[in-house]
Amino acid sequence: MNQSLNKNNYAYIDGANLHKGVSSLGWKLDYARFRVWLGEKYKVSKAYIFIGLIPGFKDLYKYLQESGFILVYKEVIYDKDGKPKGNCDADLVLQVACDTYENKYEKTIIVSSDGDYAGLVKFLQSKEKIITLLSPARPEKCSILLKRTGVSISYISDQKLILEIRKEKAPNRDGTLSGSFS
């Protein structure tokens, strides 16, 4: 499949949905490894993450940019309990629509489990522009609205061994790592 993919594919990622979905799986995503995997598996040349802009997270934003993502920020507001709200759905949809009409990419991947993107998926299907929807949630938690579109859905949970932040082995008492280098 990968050999037939063009090298100018884009990924559009709902940052909050990705973070919450993977967290619900009980592990942490290695974003740098995820970006490399998107490039190798789906020939993604540009990967956009739509994310709320919170000043305290500048180290995270820097890390994501250094990992090869293009960040699209949404100004956040705070609810009465002080919880930040930065719904990026409309921004993601608009970016995909603009890039599609300007013919900037060959095919795309949407990363989300949110049923609000069902209309976008149908649009991309009608233009023959979508490779897959990559769901960060468990299969039973991915929106039925997305499943009803008939789009190919892949699950990040299937890639845990590749994409999880790896815990380093603890060194032995002498400071060396246990194990063999052969």
pLDDT in tens, 20-60: 999 999 999 999 999 999 999 999 999 999 999 988 899 99
Angstrom distance (rounded) from CA 133 to CA 182 = 40
The pTM of the full predicted model, rounded to 2 decimals, is 0.87
The verdict on residue 173 lying in a domain is: no
The verdict on residue 168 lying in a domain is: no
Taking CA atoms, 118 is separated from 96, 143, 144, 180, in Å, by 13, 9, 9, 49
Q: Give the structural domain span for 12.
A: 2-163
In 3D space, the residue among 100, 154, 102, 148 whose CA is nearest the CA of residue 126 turns out to be 100
pLDDT of residue 25: 92
Domain count, the chain: 1
The verdict on residue 153 lying in a domain is: yes
The domain that contains 45 carries what CATH number?
Answer: 3.40.50.1010
The verdict on residue 36 lying in a domain is: yes
SS (H, E, C) the chain: CHHHCCCCEEEEEEHHHHHHHHHHCCCCECHHHHHHHHHHHHCEEEEEEEEEECHHHHHHHHHHHHCCCEEEEEECEECCCCCEECCCHHHHHHHHHHHHHCCCCCCEEEECCCHHHHHHHHHHHHCCCEEEEEECCCHHHCCHHHHCCCCCEEEHHHHHHHHECCCCCCECCCCCECCCCC
- The torsion of the CA quartet 169, 21, 13, 115, rounded to 10 degrees, works out to 160
pLDDT digits (tens, 9 = 90+) for 71-81: 999 988 888 88
pLDDT of residue 182: 36
The verdict on residue 85 lying in a domain is: yes
The verdict on residue 125 lying in a domain is: yes
Residues of the chain with pLDDT under 50: 1-3, 169-170, 176-182
pLDDT of residue 178: 43
pLDDT of residue 168: 59
The verdict on residue 95 lying in a domain is: yes
pLDDT of residue 63: 96
pLDDT of residue 126: 97
